[in-house]
Amino acid sequence: MVSILVIYATGEGQTATVAERIGTVFEDRGHDATTIDVDTRPADLERHEYDAVLVGESMNAIFRGGNRLPSGQQRDDSW
């Protein structure tokens, strides 16, 4: 069994739907999958605790060139 983190960012909810489905398929195949929205991830989440990390991002946010962060917040690239 492989432990897999499926972490995603979503703008309109579609990426969340896809990420949840991917996590379910991994679980159905006997893996330990954790699916988390990057905006609500626990502060103590450690990516090195997983065998694999799958990252999903909203294409709408990318193509619109928008910054999904609320005004005044800084992007956390350290994680």
pTM beyond 0.95? no
| Closest by CA position to 18, among listed 47, 50, 60 | 60
**Residue scoring higher pLDDT (4 or 64):** 4
Residue-wise pLDDT for 20-76, tens only, equals 999 999 999 999 999 999 888 898 999 899 999 999 987 765 555 555 555 455 556
Please compute, for residue 65, the number of CA atoms within 13 A of its CA located in the half-sphere on the CB side: 0
Q: Could you tell me how many helices (H) and strands (E) the chain has, helices first?
A: 2, 3
Is residue 9 a contact partner of residue 15, using CB atoms and an 8 Å limit?
yes
